[in-house]
Structure 1
Amino acid sequence: MYGTIFNLEVKEGCEQELIASLDKLENPPGAVAFFLMKPDKMRSDLVGVAVFESREAYVKNANRPEQHENFTNMMQYLVSEPAWNDGEYLIGKIS
């Protein structure tokens, strides 16, 4: 599995709109899971986790025109571009 963990610095007053926008997105081909977390110790930041079947599926999704549209839409709610940490997931379990 491959994917990214990313930090989102949300504009003040835009958190619920961002969450609603992300929640309505359909899972792209090759997607395994998506999580969005609000850490206890961060007021304006959210942390996202995207998991794909493979690096190839992740890259293919990144190059989809729909993904660019999703990113552009997401940016209206953010202070700056997300900090991305891409890599291979070595262990993954969901109960």
Structure 2
Amino acid sequence: MYGTFFRMKVKAGHEGQLLDSLGSHKPKGMIGWFMMKPDNPEEDFVGCAIFEDKKAHMDNANSPEQNEVYNNFMKHLESEPSWIDGEYIAGEIL
């Protein structure tokens, strides 16, 4: 599996709209995604996206559909997200 972790600073009052825009896109090869809202309101939201493999992740990242999704959710952020891409080597959902 392959994917990305990301941090994003959401504009005040835009949380619901951001989550709606993220949940509307279901790219080929995506296994799932998670978003965490920290207890401390001063902290950035943290999320992860999980794909079957690096190819599926890169195909999505380079697709016109993902560009449209990205431009839409940027309307709800204070600044560009930070990204860490890589291979998931362990994990479990109980």
TM-score normalised per structure 1? 0.90
Specify the SS of the correspondent of 2:8: strand
Identity of matched residues, %: 49
For the 8 Å contact 1:75–1:81, the answer to whether it is kept is yes
Specify the SS of the correspondent of 2:69: helix
For the 8 Å contact 2:17–2:76, the answer to whether it is kept is yes
In the other structure, the counterpart of 2:12 is 12
Specify the SS of the correspondent of 1:77: coil
For the 8 Å contact 1:11–1:44, the answer to whether it is kept is no
In the other structure, the counterpart of 1:21 is 21
Q: Distance in 1 between matches of 2:64 and 2:49?
A: 18
Q: Distance in 2 between matches of 1:47 and 1:3?
A: 14
Unaligned runs of 5+ in 1: none
Specify the SS of the correspondent of 2:56: helix
In the other structure, the counterpart of 1:67 is 66
Q: Which runs of 4+ in 1 moved over 3 A?
A: none
Deviation at 1:94, TM superposition (A): 2.2
For the 8 Å contact 1:7–1:83, the answer to whether it is kept is yes
Q: Distance in 1 between matches of 2:25 and 2:91?
A: 21
RMSD (Å), alpha carbons: 1.4
For the 8 Å contact 2:32–2:50, the answer to whether it is kept is yes
Deviation at 1:12, TM superposition (A): 1.6
How many residue pairs get aligned? The number is 94
Specify the SS of the correspondent of 2:68: helix
Amino acid at match of 2:34: F
In the other structure, the counterpart of 1:43 is 42
Specify the SS of the correspondent of 1:32: strand
Amino acid at match of 2:19: I
For the 8 Å contact 2:37–2:45, the answer to whether it is kept is yes
